[in-house]
A and B are shown apart, each in its own frame.
Chain A
């Protein structure tokens, strides 16, 4: 039954999508085809599909660990940005640009920066009782401004014709594509490992079980002696690490340099992916593939049919709405209740 809600929600999203396309004067079926099938028709399309799904799945795995414990990290976008900044910093300024250690160092830097950015809201929530939703979100705005400062100021490429971007990362700082014709690169294996780790943690470890109990029944968890602050720290750091690594992989992969805009909203979309995947490792893989297709299809119809790019975000929102609503029909039994005769009298009393 747990699978039914995402499937139902996806179908309903397609129905609303068709209506939306029709209202824009596009024949729904060919447009749906162009949105959801055409991107996958070529090897390049498949490569792009996995390339975009990878950060979404990676971040969603990290976030879901927190969400299971009712720790609401919605600032993955900022942690992603800080990961990309730190990794690029190492890549650009490490004294030996040909070192084989460069990529591993960037990995550590990206993960560390993401975790550090998430550690601040974790500390504030665990020690100062401060709402992590608002703090993680505010820190996303700050991270974006920090990136803007770096690429407009100290890190701007002097040979870059005054464009706000850094120099290109040296070759040793980049993941080499599997095939020079396509952009998919070995960083996707990081995501595969992350999914397995996430599964082991949530389904096979005592700590993961304790985290789930803190989320589902906080009072029971406290009674059993599970510390709430531990759940807060682990939940936020897992999300920060995953987002930081995703930022590193993006910088060392398709981007190759920093500019003011480095993410098409992966950090926010990953929240939806985590929910579509029911906070479960393998569900998240499917959710990430679906979300990646939404990004690809949105770009595709923007180029071929001139449809607005905002459609992707609308689809994301609708999908989440339907998913949440579908849950209701699956987890509750709907009964028609005839109102008792004296209800009205009570209401007006």
Chain B
């Protein structure tokens, strides 16, 4: 039973950064913009949040700093992709490389000591319940925040007028512009939101998940989050399920190593990457399913005419 609890809670925790980053990217892509730079924004968020904790700021401030760092990084991409109409693939790649460089630069004085991680919550009575307590009521607040963000984004995209406008812009910026919606401004807001979410994801890694600073500590999680959006065929609920699937994979890999399975540890470490490829293939084969919720103007530069 303890093993079950460990696997369940481990899965939920490992999925949390993926949920933040992938939900943020979902909003960006739903507005018709493809930002490949998640990895860079996550690293910026991770570095800044970690620095804020070591500098003595309270945890919420540190996490907010991570989100702001991610948003600031995304602004670089936004200016290139939205104002300067550059190729979005290239601009995103530049952000990924730049973010990894800047975070390594900032992080050179951080040392290798772990910090005190974000605490789990303690709800009277509920957290002490047998089984249910450890399964549901002892996570750190960011885990619950990720679920709140999921609910908020699902509601925003499909139940509000603003969400409808955002999706319309992702389908046809020309039409939206002709109706009179400020396409570029809304896309900027989406990109900034995506950046802040990636920053939160990074902050979660450095102040709650590990909790220490290692250069390039995201280890591809930003790219896996990108894959999750495709895997989810641009629907929020499937992002949640996909993130848990990948979280579970990570935890099984760690448990496998702990149990001393007779396989090389590198093979276990490669599992999440292998799984990403396999899952992408399975989803992408079905072109119709992919096209159903695909934002039609994704990654196409838009310049308001006139």
Per-residue CB contact flags for chain A residues 290-309 toward chain B (1 = under 8 Å, else 0) read 00000000000000000011
Is A145 located at the chain interface by the 8 A CB criterion?
yes
Q: A316–B99 Cα gap in the complex (Å)?
A: 11
The reply to whether the CB of A153 lies closer than 8 angstroms to some CB of chain B is: yes
Interface 0/1 of B79-91, CB less than 8 Å to A: 1100111110111
**Closest A-B pairs by Cβ, 3 of them:** A317-B98, A313-B101, A346-B180
Contact B266 A128 (CB under 8 A): no
- Chain B residues near A142 (CB-CB < 8 A): 270, 273-274
**Which residues of B sit under 8 angstroms from A317, Cβ to Cβ?**
40, 94-95, 97-99, 101-102
Given known pairs A124-B277, A310-B105, the reply for A149 and B94 (CB within 8 Å) is no
Bitwise, B226-244 to A at CB < 8 A (1) or not (0) is: 1100100000000000000
Instruction: Give the chain B neighbours of A337 by CB distance below 8 A.
Output: 306
Contact with A314, one of B79, B83, B102 (Cβ below 8 angstroms): B102
B85–A328 CB distance below 8 A: yes
User: Which of B157-199 touch A at CB < 8 Å?
Assistant: 180-182
A216 CB-CB contact with B under 8 Å:
no
User: Do the beta carbons of A141 and B220 come within 8 Å of each other?
Assistant: yes
Residue among B84, B93, B227, B281 making CB contact with A271, cutoff 8 Å: B93
Select B108's contact among A139, A146, A310, A327, beta carbons within 8 Å.
A310
Q: Does B269 contact A (CB under 8 A)?
A: yes
Given contacts A137-B223, A311-B105, A349-B180, contact A131 B280 (CB under 8 A): yes
- Chain B residues numbered 86-134 whose CB sits less than 8 Å from any CB in chain A: 86-87, 89-91, 93-95, 97-102, 104-105, 108
Say how far A295's CB is from chain B's closest CB, in angstroms. Answer: 13
How many residues belonging to A are interface residues under a CB distance threshold of 8 Å? 48
Q: Is A47 an interface residue (CB 8 A)?
A: no
8 Å CB contact of B97 from A320, A324, A332, A343: A320
Q: Which of B104, B230, B266, B269 is the one whose CB lies under 8 Å from A134? A: B230
Cα distance A134–B277 in the bound complex, in angstroms = 8
The answer to whether B80 touches A131, judged by C-beta atoms less than 8 angstroms apart, is: no
Taking A145-B270, A314-B98, A314-B101 as contacts, is the C-beta distance between A137 and B80 under 8 angstroms? no
Most chain A CB within a 10 A radius of its CB, from B40, B87, B101: B101
Note all chain A residues with C-beta closer than 8 A to B101.
Answer: 310-317
A134-173 interface code vs B (CB 8 A; 1 in, 0 out)? 1101110110011011001100000000000000000000
Residues of A within 8 A of B274 (CB): 138, 142
Contacts of A275 in B (CB 8 A): 90
Assembly CA distance A298 to B111 (angstroms):
22
The answer for the CA separation of A139 and B277 in the assembled complex, in Å, is 8
Residues of A near B277 (CB, < 8 A) are 124, 130, 134-135, 138-139
For residue B53, CB closer than 8 A to chain A, the reply is no
Within the complex, the shortest CB–CB distance from A256 to chain B, in Å, comes to 23
Name 21 interchain pairs, CB-CB below 8 A, sorted by A. A124-B280, A124-B281, A130-B281, A138-B227, A142-B274, A145-B266, A145-B269, A145-B270, A153-B264, A268-B97, A271-B93, A275-B90, A313-B97, A313-B98, A314-B102, A315-B101, A317-B40, A317-B98, A318-B98, A320-B93, A347-B181
Residues of A within 8 A of B90 (CB): 275, 320, 324
Q: Mark A264-275, 1 if CB is under 8 A from B, else 0.
A: 000010011001
Given contacts A131-B280, A318-B98, 20 further A-B contacts (CB under 8 A): A129-B287, A130-B280, A133-B89, A134-B226, A145-B269, A146-B270, A310-B104, A310-B108, A314-B101, A314-B102, A314-B105, A317-B97, A317-B98, A320-B94, A321-B98, A325-B84, A328-B83, A328-B85, A343-B180, A347-B182
Q: Which residue of the partner chain B has the closest CB to A121?
A: B277
Residue from A271, A312, A325, A332 in contact with B80 in the complex, judged by beta carbons closer than 8 Å: A325
A72 within 8 A of B: yes
User: B54: CB under 8 A from chain A?
Assistant: no
Contact with A along B21-45 (1 / 0, CB 8 A): 0000000000000001000100000
A74 at the interface (CB under 8 A from B): yes
Flag if A313 contacts B104 (CB, 8 Å).
Answer: yes
Q: Which residue of A lies closest to B94 (CB)?
A: A320
B292 located at the interface, meaning its Cβ lies under 8 Å from any Cβ of chain A in the complex: no
Q: Given B95, B180, B284, which contacts A128 in the complex, CB threshold below 8 Å?
A: B284
Is residue B257 contacting chain A, with contact meaning CB distance below 8 A? no
| Bound Cα distance from A275 to B80, whole angstroms | 15
Residues of B within 8 A of A137 (CB): 220, 223
**CA distance in complex: A271, B220 (Å):** 18
